[in-house]
Structure 1
Amino acid sequence: MKAFYSWAALGAAGLALLLTACDSTPRERQAVARQELAKLDTAARNGGRTLHRLGRQAVAYDAANRARRATPLSPREQRIMDQQLLGGYADHIGELTVQTIAGAYGELLRATRVRQGGWQLRDWDYAQNTYQRLNQQLARIRLDLPARSEVRIRAWQAEFVALRARRTAKDLQTATKQDKND
């Protein structure tokens, strides 16, 4: 939004230059044009610095995420997360049927909504793994799934992805709000 206002201000200055062009000399117009170009140059330089800083911070954030994801998940911790997110469905993900898979997704979303506020990034990695294995089972039985159940499951999938994306956006925003003089 800030960029819009600076472009609007520059546009207004250009309009003022055009309107006063009839009442000024070429030398006066040239001086005004130089002033406006100096303002544009300063805005471009400041914008470039900001983009450079944000780019460095985003690269550092991405590198930290890649390093975290490169570390294998602990099977023990995964079983604990499965139990927390799926309850009674946790030990039977690969055996879920058309009749039970919607219940598993419902349980996953209820638990995610409650717990996600206190999760660290690694907790999200475990939750994402649980979600992916549930999606793999859905892919195996999907052709036999009634449309009503599939629509409900797709809504839960969209909500899970939205919760995860919100956390990612929040983390990226936090990473790029560091000291501007980095």
Structure 2
Amino acid sequence: MKKLFVSALLLLMGLSTLNAQAQTKTKLEQDLEDFRNWMNKRVSQGDSITRAEWPAVKQEFRTRTQNLDRSSSQMNEASKQEYGQLKNQYQEWEAEHEERYGQPLSRETAANWERRLAGTNKIGQLKASQLRGTFVRFMENVRAQRTDWSLRDWDYAEHVYLQLNDRKQQVLSQMTNSDKMKVAALQVEFNTLRKSRDAKDRYNQMREQR
């Protein structure tokens, strides 16, 4: 009876270990699949990722690969190979973007762009009642000037946009519903114009490489 009990206990322990290993494998497979999907999504975005989003993208990569790095020894050979290829693909992709986003904006030039597009370099002091008019002026200038902008120019325009957006969030509760709706529409327009410029640049780059 005692031997039967011990055998049953060992069997249960063995099943428990196998179950734990299966769960670990499943978790690893899911993490790898999530990382694969994340990589595909980021690569498909091309240059539409903004300077403001870039630090968060790099941090997300580190977070997603942290557990996979620790558990890579438990992967089968096919998964190890795929994981290595995905990381190499990311490193190449990051290097391309870091060349652009790693260059800090000039404070003096940024202030000039604030005056040029928003009419002021004291955006952080705008009143709630001034936000709508300032956003309207900003977008009028963007529409008029964007044709000749380089990607670096768009970085400065985005800087002004983010300054306005931050101020909007600070005084949002004081804004009228009409002003909120108007500003929201202008924000959508700016982001659409920015992404269309990035798409145009990618298309031209593809043509040059043919």
Same fold (TM over 0.5): yes
Q: TM-score range by the shorter chain?
A: 0.5 to 0.7
Q: Count residues in correspondence.
A: 124
Choose 1 or 2 for highest CA Rg: 1
**Residue 75 of structure 1 pairs with residue 75 of structure 2:** no
Aligned equivalent of 2:169: 139
Name the amino acid aligned to 2:183: I
Residue 175 of structure 1, CA deviation:
1.6
Residue 178 of structure 1, CA deviation:
3.0
Aligned equivalent of 1:115: 145
RMSD after superposition: 2.4
**Residue 153 of structure 1 pairs with residue 183 of structure 2:** yes
Report the TM-score, using the length of structure 1 for normalisation: 0.62
Give the fraction of aligned pairs with identical amino acids, expressed as a percent. 27
Aligned equivalent of 1:128: 158
Aligned equivalent of 2:86: none
For 1:130-168, what per-residue CA distance to the aligned partner results, in whole angstroms no more than 9, with x for missing partners?
Answer: 100110010011112111000000111011111101101
Q: Please, which of 162, 167, 172 is the counterpart of residue 192 of structure 2?
A: 162
- Structure 1's unaligned 5+ residue stretches are 1-54
Measure the CA separation in 2 of the matches of 1:66 and 1:114: 29
Residue 68 of structure 1, CA deviation:
1.3
Aligned equivalent of 2:117: 85
**Structure 1 segments (4+ residues) deviating >4 Å:** 57-63
Aligned equivalent of 1:98: 128
Secondary structure at the counterpart of residue 82 of structure 1: helix
- Structure 2's unaligned 5+ residue stretches are 1-43, 48-88
Measure the CA separation in 2 of the matches of 1:138 and 1:157: 11
Measure the CA separation in 2 of the matches of 1:81 and 1:164: 16
Secondary structure at the counterpart of residue 176 of structure 1: helix
Report the TM-score, using the length of structure 2 for normalisation: 0.54
